[in-house]
Amino acid sequence: MRPSRLVAIMVLGVLVSTSTADLAGKPQPVTEPEAAAWLHHVVPLPKQVAITGRVVVAPQQVHIVTADTAPPLVAQAVRELRECLGQPPDGPATQSPVFTITLELGSEAAQALASLKNADQAYRIVPDERSSVLRCVAREPRGLYYAAKTLQQLIRARAEARQVSIPICEVTDWPDIGDRGLWGSDACDHLRWLSDRKMNYMEQIATSRVTEDKRATVALADYKRVMVEHGPTYGINPVPAIVHLEQLYGHGLFNVYPELKGQGGKEGAICYSKPVFIDILADWIVGYATMPGITEVDVWMTENLHGQGGCRCAECAKTDRDMLEARAIVAAWNKAKTRVPDVGLRILTSEETADGNEAVFRELPPEVKIWYYHSLLTYTTGEEPMVLPALVPLAREGRWAGVCFNICAFVAMAQPFTGADFIHYRMREFAKKGMSGLLGYSTPRLGYGLFNVEAVAEWSWNANGRSPREFAFSWAVREGLDDPALFTEWSQTLGPVAWNVYGSDWPAGEQRKALANVARQLKEGKLPELGFVLWGVYRSPWGDIKSAEQLDRDVVAAKHAVTLARRMGVPTYLQESLIVEGYVRSLAALWSLRSIVTPDGIAEADRPTAKRAFRDYIDSLDQARTTLPLWEATVRKEHEANRYTDKAVELLGEMMAEMKATAADLGIQLHE
Contact criterion met (CB below 8 Å) for 345 and 368: yes
**How near is the Cβ of 639 to Zn ion at its closest, in Å?**
47
Residues whose CB is less than 8 angstroms from the CB of residue 21 and which lie 6 or more positions away in sequence, other chains included: none
Among the residue ranges 108-116, 233-241, 306-314, 649-657, the one whose residues contact Zn ion (CB under 5 A) = 306-314
Among the residue ranges 314-322, 388-396, 572-580, 647-655, the one whose residues contact Zn ion (CB under 5 A) = 314-322
CA separation for the pair 20, 29 (Å, rounded): 14
**How near is the Cβ of 334 to Zn ion at its closest, in Å?**
20
Query: What amino acid occupies position 221?
Result: A
Give whichever of 316 and 336 is closer to Zn ion, judged by the CB atom.
Answer: 316
What Cα–Cα distance (Å) separates residue 120 from each residue in 141, 150, 480?
A: 8, 16, 33
| Coil/strand/helix, residue 207 | strand
Among the residue ranges 87-95, 119-127, 305-313, 338-346, the one whose residues contact Zn ion (CB under 5 A) = 305-313
Residues whose CB is less than 8 angstroms from the CB of residue 97 and which lie 6 or more positions away in sequence, other chains included: 61, 62, 63
**How near is the Cβ of 297 to Zn ion at its closest, in Å?**
24
Give whichever of 311 and 368 is closer to Zn ion, judged by the CB atom.
Answer: 311
Burial of residue 607 (CB within 10 Å: 0-12, 13-18, 19+) is middle
Site string for Zn ion, 132-171 (x = CB under 5 A): ----------------------------------------
Q: Find the farthest-apart pair of alpha carbons in the chain and give their distance in angstroms, rounded.
A: 91
**How near is the Cβ of 39 to Zn ion at its closest, in Å?**
59
Query: 252-271: which residues touch Zn ion (CB under 5 A)?
Result: 271
Query: 455-474: which residues touch Zn ion (CB under 5 A)?
Result: none
Give whichever of 128 and 259 is closer to Zn ion, judged by the CB atom.
Answer: 259
Q: How big is the site for Zn ion, counted in residues (CB under 5 A)?
A: 5
Give whichever of 58 and 313 is closer to Zn ion, judged by the CB atom.
Answer: 313
H or E stretch including 657? helix 646-665
**How near is the Cβ of 386 to Zn ion at its closest, in Å?**
34
Query: Which residues pair with residue 296 across a beta bridge?
Result: 344
Give whichever of 135 and 274 is closer to Zn ion, judged by the CB atom.
Answer: 274
**How near is the Cβ of 76 to Zn ion at its closest, in Å?**
48
**How near is the Cβ of 263 to Zn ion at its closest, in Å?**
6
**How near is the Cβ of 270 to Zn ion at its closest, in Å?**
8
Among the residue ranges 8-16, 304-312, 426-434, 503-511, the one whose residues contact Zn ion (CB under 5 A) = 304-312
**How near is the Cβ of 347 to Zn ion at its closest, in Å?**
20
Residues whose CB is less than 8 angstroms from the CB of residue 117 and which lie 6 or more positions away in sequence, other chains included: 174, 175, 176, 178
Query: 272-301: which residues touch Zn ion (CB under 5 A)?
Result: 273
Residues whose CB is less than 8 angstroms from the CB of residue 584 and which lie 6 or more positions away in sequence, other chains included: 497, 500, 501, 551, 554, 555, 558
Short-list 634, 628, 627, 184, CA closest to 446: 184
Among the residue ranges 122-130, 222-230, 310-318, 445-453, the one whose residues contact Zn ion (CB under 5 A) = 310-318
**How near is the Cβ of 301 to Zn ion at its closest, in Å?**
16
Strand segments (E) across 569-619: 597-598, 601-602
H or E stretch including 603? none
**How near is the Cβ of 320 to Zn ion at its closest, in Å?**
13
Give whichever of 267 and 367 is closer to Zn ion, judged by the CB atom.
Answer: 267
Give whichever of 320 and 358 is closer to Zn ion, judged by the CB atom.
Answer: 320
Give whichever of 182 and 311 is closer to Zn ion, judged by the CB atom.
Answer: 311
Give whichever of 320 and 429 is closer to Zn ion, judged by the CB atom.
Answer: 320
Residue 403, phi then psi, degrees to nearest 5: -125, 135
**How near is the Cβ of 275 to Zn ion at its closest, in Å?**
12
Give whichever of 313 and 651 is closer to Zn ion, judged by the CB atom.
Answer: 313
Among the residue ranges 77-85, 226-234, 313-321, 593-601, the one whose residues contact Zn ion (CB under 5 A) = 313-321
Burial annotation 583-605 (CB, 10 A radius, 16+ → b, else e): bbbbbbbbbbbbebbeeeebeee
Contact criterion met (CB below 8 Å) for 72 and 30: no
3-state helix, strand, coil in the chain (%, to 5): 45, 15, 40
| 311 is a contact residue toward Zn ion (CB under 5 A) | yes
CA separation for the pair 405, 455 (Å, rounded): 14
**How near is the Cβ of 313 to Zn ion at its closest, in Å?**
3
Among the residue ranges 93-101, 179-187, 192-200, 315-323, the one whose residues contact Zn ion (CB under 5 A) = 315-323
Number of H helices, E strands in the chain: 20, 19
Among the residue ranges 86-94, 223-231, 303-311, 514-522, the one whose residues contact Zn ion (CB under 5 A) = 303-311
Give whichever of 35 and 316 is closer to Zn ion, judged by the CB atom.
Answer: 316
Short-list 30, 26, 33, 31, CA closest to 61: 26
Give whichever of 158 and 327 is closer to Zn ion, judged by the CB atom.
Answer: 327
CA separation for the pair 457, 434 (Å, rounded): 17
Burial of residue 265 (CB within 10 Å: 0-12, 13-18, 19+) is buried
What Cα–Cα distance (Å) separates residue 654 from each residue in 20, 603, 617?
A: 66, 27, 13
**How near is the Cβ of 269 to Zn ion at its closest, in Å?**
9
Give whichever of 313 and 537 is closer to Zn ion, judged by the CB atom.
Answer: 313
Among the residue ranges 135-143, 198-206, 309-317, 614-622, the one whose residues contact Zn ion (CB under 5 A) = 309-317
- Neighbouring C-beta atoms of residue 363, cutoff 10 Å: 12
Give whichever of 281 and 316 is closer to Zn ion, judged by the CB atom.
Answer: 316
State the sign of the Cα–Cα–Cα–Cα dihedral 603, 604, 610, 615: positive
Interface ranges with Zn ion (CB under 5 A): 271, 273, 311, 313, 316
